[in-house]
């Protein structure tokens, strides 16, 4: 949360989190104080802005990635503050989020074209359900909902745009949790979503390992063709 605060207070990277925060002053979108979703996305994106923008602050990693650690942790802290959770509840929620993220990532290659902030946000979704008083079934529904949303977002290298992907993942997390709390889940007739949540997770792993095997060379070819473009 310290690195998230740094991203909100300073001009790091794309300043995505800060821009969401400042929207409250422009009357556009309601800003960080409008609702829980904006708060989650702003804080998490700001932490990624700061990390990728060179802030000399530590970020807890998950599956070897700081951005995944941020995505699995910052939304949980924001929800915990929202529900006024005590220290034990926060510790349990962070443990649940990070372990779930690690489990889902275990079906993916160590490095792949799959942007694993999405799988990290699935861990945060399970933790959010816990903090909001939900049940395991709802956590499973939230993960399935995310599998039907942003799964397959590509990683095109570490850079300031990672904050955009972090924001996409956490926004997907909020929508998935909101639906699950109302008993709504994407049916198993849709794409990657299976009846069993573990089968759904393994399907995501197959997408990342088999389905996206040729994605990295394609991304690299595009990057190499750019030469040395002048920064915008």
Q: Percent of the chain scored above 70 by pLDDT? A: 93
Task: Give dist(CA 90, CA 73) in Å, integer.
Answer: 10
Residue given tokens 């039907």 in the structure block: 148
Segment 109-130 shows an average pLDDT of 93
Contact yes or no for 71/17 (Cβ under 8 A):
no
At 60-88, the pLDDT tens digits run: 899 999 999 999 999 999 999 999 999 99
pLDDT at 32: 42
Question: What pLDDT score does 231 carry?
Answer: 60
Distance of CA 195 to the CA centre of its chain: 23
Query: Could you tell me the pLDDT band of residue 24, with boundaries at 50, 70 and 90?
Result: low
pLDDT above 60: residue 25: no
Given a cut of 60, is residue 232 above it in pLDDT?
Answer: no
Asked if the model's pLDDT at residue 28 lies above 70, the reply is no
The mean predicted confidence, pLDDT, of the chain is 90
Mean pLDDT, rounded, for 203-226: 91
Burial per residue of 67-79, b for 16 or more beta-carbon CB atoms within 10 angstroms, e otherwise: bbbbbbbbbbbbb
Question: Which of the two residues, 67 and 112, has the higher pLDDT score?
Answer: 67
pLDDT digits (tens, 9 = 90+) for 150-167: 777 898 888 999 999 999
Q: Please state, in angstroms and rounded to a whole number, the distance separating the CA atoms of residues 165 and 95.
A: 23
All structural domains of the chain with their residue ranges: 64-215
Contact 126, 143 (CB under 8 A): yes
Report CA dihedral (146, 148, 149, 155) to the nearest 10 degrees. 90
Mean pLDDT of 198-214: 93
Residue 98, pLDDT > 50, answer yes
Token digits for 108? 């993916």
**Mean local confidence (pLDDT), 146-152:** 86
In the prediction, which pLDDT does 230 show? 62
Closest by CA position to 203, among listed 211, 132, 67, 125: 211
């Amino acid at each position: 949360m310290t690195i998230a605060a740094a991203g909100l207070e300073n001009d790091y990277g794309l300043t995505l989190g800060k821009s969401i925060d400042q929207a409250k002053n422009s009357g556009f979108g309601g800003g960080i104080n409008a609702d829980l979703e904006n708060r989650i996305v702003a804080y998490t994106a700001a932490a990624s802005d700061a990390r990728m923008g060179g802030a000399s602050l530590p970020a807890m990693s998950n599956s070897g990635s700081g951005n995944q650690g941020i995505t699995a942790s910052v939304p949980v802290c924001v929800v915990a503050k929202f529900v006024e959770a005590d220290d034990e509840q926060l510790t349990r929620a962070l443990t649940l989020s990070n372990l779930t993220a690690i489990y889902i990532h275990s079906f993916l290659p160590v490095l792949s074209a799959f942007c694993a902030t999405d799988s990290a946000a699935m861990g945060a979704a399970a933790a959010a359900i816990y903090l909001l008083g939900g049940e395991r079934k709802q956590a499973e529904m939230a993960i399935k909902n995310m599998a039907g949303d942003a799964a397959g977002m590509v990683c095109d290298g570490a850079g300031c745009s990672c904050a955009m992907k972090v924001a996409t993942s956490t926004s997907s997390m909020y929508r998935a949790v909101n639906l699950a709390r109302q008993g709504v889940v994407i049916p198993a007739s849709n794409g990657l979503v299976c009846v069993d949540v573990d089968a759904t997770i393994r399907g995501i792993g197959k997408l990342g390992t088999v389905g996206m095997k040729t994605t990295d060379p394609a991304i690299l070819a595009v990057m190499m063709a750019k030469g040395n473009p002048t920064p915008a």
